[in-house]
Every structure is written in structure tokens, then in C-alpha cells.
Amino acid sequence: MMIPYSSSSQATSSTQPGYNQMGPHGYSVPVPAPFSITIPQQPHDQIAHKPGPGFYSPANNTYDIVAYAGNHPITENSKCTNALVGQTFVQSCKVKYQGRRSLMFVFADLAVKIEGTFILRYRVFDIFSKKYNDNQLAIQTECYGGAFRIYSTKDFPGLQASTELTKDLARWGVRLNIRESERKRSKKGDRDSVSPPPAGTGKGKKRAYSSD
């Protein structure tokens, strides 16, 4: 699931009671859902763009709130999963990272078709643990990723070098594109500013988006 992340709200709000413990990116889940809420101030001043489809407004039902980024409500109806391109369901990979054996879910070819700032919601299912007499899969757990921005071609600043985690996953045989150095946007008429193509384990076309 992908949710637009906007900071254009102007009203203030105090912290709502009943939060779960904050996650790694500052997200919390309301327990139970609040009966009323006002729009908070901008949670991240460095993020500023027009609200995307389904942006939260006072008219929206507060029971639609699934989590908070700080004091900022994230609503179920703001999701725009249809803007995602690539594989949205993956199996876990067993790797060793930072000296520990881990199960990781790698979305290597995931991309976004529209501009804006978004967050991703991740959900884990066990396909072998269906409920009795029910074909529906229970959600084992879920979490939210950090906010990221999708640029237009005109404003695109370039691609950063791959993270150590991405390189580690590639060493374990996960098919990923690897960039050893930053790829800056080439200027018109300046061919020297283009970095060499990324070295990866996969074949085929180069992808324009990082895997993490």
C-alpha cells in the first residue's frame, strides 16, 4: 500500500491518547481510533508539496485513520497503490546481515508512476496459516517506511550510491542493481557529468529507481 505524505496542513493539534509505541520512523497506531481530531502543523518542514489523492481533511471519518506520523494522521482512503509499478508481493530471503541471520523482503523492481512524497505500508502474511474454514489470510504484522519523494524529470537531482544493505543483499544472491557511486543528473551538452552505468547481478534494462 502506498500513501501520499503531505505537510500542507496548518491547524494545530495536541498528542492523541492511546498511541502504541513509536516505530523506527516515528509512526504510531491509534488504539482505539480517536473520535475527533484536528489537522496538525507540518510534521516535516523540509517536505512541501500539494496534497495527493485522498488527502486527509476534517470531513474525513476519523475512524479511517490507521496510523500517525508524529501528530499527522494517515488515513486508509488516502492510499494510491494503483500508482505502484512492479512486484508488490514478495517472498522472504534468508540472509546474514550485521552478523545476524535475518528474513528480508526485497521489492527490487518497485517504482512509482506519479510525483509527490509518499510512504509505504508493509504487511506480512503467512500463506500456510489460513484460519479454519476461511480462505482469508490473516495479517501477521505491518509497519510503515520512511517518507520518500518522486521527482519530475525536470527536477530529478540524480541517484545516490547504493546503500551497504543493498550491496549486502546482492552478495547473498538477491537480484538487484548496484551503484558504486552517485549518479548526478547530466547537464545539457555535458557528457562528462554522466557516471558509468551501475554494475549489477541482474540482466536486461537498467532501472531508474533504487531498491531501498
166 and 92 part of one domain: no
pLDDT in tens, 105-155: 888 888 999 999 888 899 998 888 777 777 778 888 888 888 888 999 888
Q: Which of 129, 150, 171 is the last residue of a domain?
A: 150
Q: How far is CA 139 from CA 31, 130, 145, in A?
A: 17, 10, 17
pLDDT in tens, 96-116: 888 888 888 888 888 999 999
Q: Angle at the Cα of 124 (from 120 to 129), degrees rounded to 5?
A: 160
83 and 182 part of one domain: no
Answer whether 200's CB lies under 8 Å from 170's CB: yes
Does the model's pTM come out above 0.85?
A: no
Percent of the chain with pLDDT over 90: 3
125 and 168 part of one domain: no
Cis omega (within 30 of 0) for bond into 157 = no
DSSP-derived 3-state class of residue 2: strand
Rounded distance, CA 176 to CA 180, Å?
A: 13
pLDDT in tens, 41-83: 444 434 334 444 444 444 445 668 888 877 778 888 888 888 9
175 and 146 part of one domain: no
Which residue range forms the structural domain that includes residue 52? 1-150
185 and 134 part of one domain: no
Grid coordinates representing 98?
550485521
